[in-house]
Amino acid sequence: MPRTLSLNAKIQQLRQFLRQERRLPSYREMLDVFDYRSTNAVSGLVRKLVEHGYLLRDDAGHLAPTSKLSGTVKLLGLVQAGFPAPAEEDEVDVVSLDDYLIRRPEASFLLTVNGDSMIDAGIQPGDLVLVEKGATPRIGQIVVAQVDGEWTLKYYAKDSAGVRLDPANRNYRFIRPRQSLHIGGVVRGVVRKYD
Amino acid sequence: MPRTLSLNAKIQQLRQFLRQERRLPSYREMLDVFDYRSTNAVSGLVRKLVEHGYLLRDDAGHLAPTSKLSGTVKLLGLVQAGFPAPAEEDEVDVVSLDDYLIRRPEASFLLTVNGDSMIDAGIQPGDLVLVEKGATPRIGQIVVAQVDGEWTLKYYAKDSAGVRLDPANRNYRFIRPRQSLHIGGVVRGVVRKYD
DNA sequence: CTTGATGGTGAACGATTGTTCAGTTATGGG
DNA sequence: CCCATAACTGAACAATCGTTCACCATCAAG
């Protein structure tokens, strides 16, 4: 059989360009990226990348990177399973944290947690909560709510007396809205960064 | 003075195209996006977008979106401060979770937490830990380590007897490596998603 | 109301784009 | 070793790219 090319090396090179330039290279720029000398070679490679789902071609023929290409983190299994062998590292899924966490970008906000009232829910001071503004909360979900003029982070609950906002900390008591209750949004995720 | 255009509306339209097509539109495609009829109008708008930091122009003149444009979440302040008024909503920072959390994409992995041994550190079963593989741990940091053949998530500590791996749960005891200790990576962040 | 600057139209330009074709090179299976 | 075939070279192509020009429209300040 004829000579075969290793896609993985090419994909790595393309990823690097994508990260640095934040765009896809043109075919002539790919000459440098892939160390080719003919744009026809690029054309063939691009066709393969489309076949393998790294690039997407729209109706007009324009190319765009898929999340498989532009993803920034390799998604593995359980901590117990550890890391894959270098040989298998090319086959793991690559995801984007944005795509993973955010469903409605236009309604999504990040807020910094300041109290410890949700500590038993694993939400610590300094954490960022990803909030979907305007969403309708279900019971048991965590909401950002304005109660009697003050914004807080609490579990959304209901009982015979109506809506109740529960903290996740035994040292705090639940809140019962007196005058007003305004649900700002529903917490869809939590992000913590260590420095 | 002459008539003024509202950049914010244009930026929204551009963001929508960017999310759907995963690439920047060409000038003629921008005619539709911005409802223009001359590519000269597009040219002027692009120049403004570059000036305001939404687009980046490299040495060769190629355009690329900045994180200010391609960011997916609006970064606000403390939970206490609540949400901005709709009028001020255009002025908040827009960030990408990938850019925020990930420094070295090529060495970054996501692992699913399965035990509750780090629960007091706010890391629950089902959470994803963002691990930077191969990084050297400092004392007090959380690491993914292989101790005597088994992979675990623990605090990295040292005492007079050498390296010690501490859980964040009173029901568990610290681990002292007997035969082998292999630090897989350092935990740089935690991501939790609610369904 | 006039004026000046900004936003926009319409059309033309050379440059760059991706495609295509004929031909060459390299390599793994028989 | 040889051969079939995928990978690649080099060059030409029309199509599309972003830039630029002259000119018109609009609107706020004086």
DSSP state of A107: G
Of A83, A101, A150, the CB nearest to B193: A101
Catalytic pick from B6, B48, B67, B154? B154
Quickly state the pLDDT bin for B6 (edges 50, 70, 90).
confident
Q: How far is the CA of B41 from the C1' of C1 (A)?
A: 29
Phi, psi of B45 (to 5 degrees): -65, -45
**Vertex A179 angle, CA A175 and A181, to 5°:** 60
Dihedral sign for Cα atoms in the order A67, A69, A72, A76: positive
CATH code for the part of the protein at A1-70: 1.10.10.10
Which among A143, A120, A146 is positioned nearest to A130, based on CA atoms?
A143
The domain limits of chain B are 7-99, 105-191
- Cα nearest neighbour of B90 on chain A: A106
B117 tagged catalytic: yes
B78 interface with A at CB cutoff 8 Å: yes
Domain B7-99 classified CATH 1.10.10.10? yes
pLDDT at B179: 85
- Tell whether B109 lies on the interface with A, counting CB pairs under 8 A: yes
Residue B22 to residue A189, Cβ atoms within 8 A: no
State residue B167's pLDDT score.
98
Phi and psi at B172, nearest 5°, equal -110, 160
Whether any strand C atom is under 7 angstroms from the Cβ of A42: the reply reads yes
In the predicted model, is pLDDT for residue B87 greater than 80?
no
A166 touches B: beta carbon within 8 Å: no
Protein-proximal nucleotides of chain D (any atom < 7 Å from a CB) = 4-12, 16-22, 25-29
**Cβ contacts (< 8 Å) between B80 and chain A: which residues?**
114, 150-152
Is A22 near chain B, with CB under 8 Å?
A: yes
Percent of chain B with pLDDT over 70: 98
Segment among A45-49, A69-73, B83-87, B183-187 with least mean pLDDT? B83-87
Reference A10, options A41, B21, A85; nearest CA is: A41
| Residues β-bridged to residue A128 | A112, A191
- What digits encode the pLDDT tens for the residues B161-183? 999 999 999 999 999 998 889 99
pLDDT given at position A19? 95
Check CB contact under 8 Å for B112 and A78.
yes
Q: Are A32 and A24 in contact (CB under 8 A)?
A: no
Q: Is residue B11 pLDDT above 70, yes or no?
A: yes
CATH topology of B7-99 equal to that of B105-191? no
Query: What does the pLDDT average to over B89-111?
Result: 94
Average pLDDT over residues B73-99: 92
3-state secondary structure at position B106: helix
Tokens of A50: 């489309």
Q: CA B142 to CA B165: how far, in whole Å? A: 9
Query: What is the model's pLDDT at position A1?
Result: 58
Contact A140/A155 with Cβ under 8 angstroms? Answer: yes
Determine if strand C comes within 7 Å of the CB of B178: no
The whole-number pLDDT of residue B2 equals: 61
Q: Which of A96, A109, A141 is facing B76, going by the closest CB pair?
A: A109
Mean pLDDT of B137-158: 96
Q: pLDDT (tens digit, 9 = 90+) per residue, A80-111?
A: 999 998 777 778 999 999 999 999 999 999 99
Which tens digit of pLDDT belongs to each residue from A18-46?
999 999 999 999 999 999 999 999 999 99
The nucleotide closest to A35 (CA, C1' atoms): D8
Contact B151/A at CB under 8 A: yes
Contact A189 B189 (CB under 8 A): no
What number does CATH give the domain A105-191?
2.10.109.10
Cα–Cα dist A113/B11, whole Å: 29
B27-84 pLDDT, tens digit per residue, is 999 999 999 999 999 999 999 999 999 999 999 999 999 999 999 999 999 999 999 9
What's the mean per-residue pLDDT of chain A? 95
pLDDT the model gives residue A4: 77
B46 beta carbon < 7 A from strand D? yes
pLDDT value of position B178: 87
> Nearest Cβ partner of B79 from A66, A82, A144?
A144
Mean pLDDT of chain B: 95
Confidence bin at A70 (pLDDT 50/70/90): very high
Q: Do A73 and B102 touch (CB under 8 A)?
A: yes
What pLDDT is recorded for position A132?
98
Asked if B123's CB is within 8 angstroms of A184's CB, the reply is no
pLDDT confidence of residue B156 = 98
Contact status, residue B155 vs residue B147, Cβ threshold 8 Å:
no
Q: Are A190 and B188 in contact (CB < 8 Å)?
A: no
